[in-house]
Amino acid sequence: MTLLSAPEETATAGRPTPGRLRVVLMLDVHDGAQNRFLDAYELLRYQVSAVPGHVSDQLCQSIDDPSRWLITSEWESAEPFLAWVDSPAHREMVKPLHGCVRDTRSLRYTVLRETHGSTATDSPAAPLRPGEHHPGVPGVPRPGPDGVVRHALSFTVKPGAEARAAELLAGYRSPQARVDDTTRLLRTSLFMHGNRVVRCVEVAGDLPTALRHVARQPGVRAVEEALNPHLEEDRDLDDPLSARDFFRRAALPAVHHHAALRSGPVQRHAYLYPVRPGAGAALAELLAEEDEHAAADPGGPLVRATVYRHDDLVVRLVDLLADPAADPATALGLAGPRAAAVLGKLAAPAERTPDGLRRLLAACSMALVTDRSSAED
C-alpha cells in the first residue's frame, strides 16, 4: 500500500520491466491520531489486497519513536502497482489517512535476491548500472554525462484558460541560480500544446533540493496560486499530501538525452507526439536511437535532444542550429534509419514526404511560453 510519491522519487527508463517490486512507505503520524490511523489502515489493507498484482503488505511501528510507521508491500511487478497508484481509485482510497499523517516518503525497489532459511534465489532482474532506472520504478533522477539533471512537469489547464495560463507562467521572476554549495538552477523552458503545459528544468546538483528551493520563492508561489483556479485537476501546494499527489501525477522524467559537439546560435523547440495507445515506451526508445544517429552526423543541425516520457505522454526537447522548417525530419527525430518505426508508433502516421513532415511538425510543435536561465547571484 502506498499513499503518495514525492516528486523526487519518479524516473523511468526504456527497458523491459523487471520482476517483483518492493514498496516501502515511511510515515509520521500526528500525535493523538494513532487509533484513527490504525482504523483507516485496517479498512484499506483489505481494499488493497484486492488490487490485481498485489502480493502482500506489512505495517510496522518504530520501537524508538511511536509516531513513526512503516508500510511495506510486495507486487508482482511494477506495472500493476503503478497503474493503481496513478489511478483516481487510489487517491480516493487513501483519503481517510490524510488527516492522520504528517509526512510520507515512498521508495520502490526491485527484488533481486532472496533467502529463506538455507535456500537462496535470484530474480531475473539485472542490477542497475550507475545512472540507470528500471522502467516505471521510481528513483532520484541522476545527472547525465554533462553533470546536468533533467526533469519535467506536465499538467493541463481548463479549456479556454490557455491564454491566461500562458500569461501567468511567463510572468514570474527567475529565482536565484545558486541553491546551495552543490546545487544550481541552470534553465527552465516552458511550452504549451493546446491546454497541456510542459515545464522542463535543468539542474546542476540535487534536483529535489532545487525544486524545494523554487517552491519557496514568493514570486513563484504567487504565480502558482494564481494558476490554481485554471487547472483541470485541483491541487493545494500548501498541503504536503496534495502537493506530493500533484508532483507525482505531473512528473515527466527525462528518459534519454543525446548531445553533439557543435557551436553556433541555438534555437530551442519542443514536440508533443500523438502516440498510439500503449506505444509510449517504444516510441521513446526509437526517438533516442534517431537522436543518437543525428548527433553523430558531423554536418547535422542537432545540438541536444532530450526525450521525456510518462506512459504514453512523450515530449522531446531539442536544440537546433537551423530553423526546424528547413529540416523537419531532424527536428522531429525522423532523419535516421528508425524513422519508419517512429511513424508506426504514432496515432496518426504522416507520410515521409516534405509536405507530410511539415504537417506533422506543425501538429507536434509546442508553443514556447518562456525559456530562461535562473538569475545569477
Across 52-65, average pLDDT: 89
Structure confidence at residue 18 (pLDDT):
53
Q: Largest alpha-carbon pair distance within the chain?
A: 68
Contact indicator for 222, 328 with CB cutoff of 8 Å: no
Verdict on whether the full-model pTM lies above 0.75: no
Round to whole Å and give the CA distance between 65 and 322.
60
Question: Is the pLDDT at 361 greater than 80, yes or no?
Answer: yes
The answer to which of 139-153, 189-203, 297-311 has the lowest mean pLDDT is: 139-153
Encode 64-76: b = buried (16+ Cβ within 10 Å), e = exposed: eeebebebbbbbe
- What tens digit of pLDDT does each residue of 155-190 get? 999 999 999 999 999 987 778 888 888 899 999 999
Convert the pLDDT of each residue in 69-78 to its tens digit: 999 999 888 8
How many residues in total does the chain contain? Answer: 377
340: Cβ contacts below 8 Å, ≥ 6 apart: 352
pLDDT of 3 strictly over 50: no
Model pLDDT for residues 275-296, shown as the tens digit of each residue: 999 899 899 999 999 999 999 9
Nearest one of 149, 134, 154 to 248, comparing CA atoms: 154
Write down the pLDDT at residue 52. 87
* Main-chain dihedrals φ then ψ at residue 40, nearest 5 degrees: -65, -45
Domains of the chain: 7-122 (3.30.70.100), 148-252 (3.30.70.100), 254-369 (3.30.70)
CA–CA gap between residue 135 and residue 255 (Å, rounded): 9
Confidence of residue 325 (pLDDT cuts 50, 70, 90): very high
pLDDT surpasses 80 at 7: no
Whole-number pLDDT of residue 187: 92
Look at 58-67, 118-127, 270-279 and tell me which has the smallest mean pLDDT: 118-127
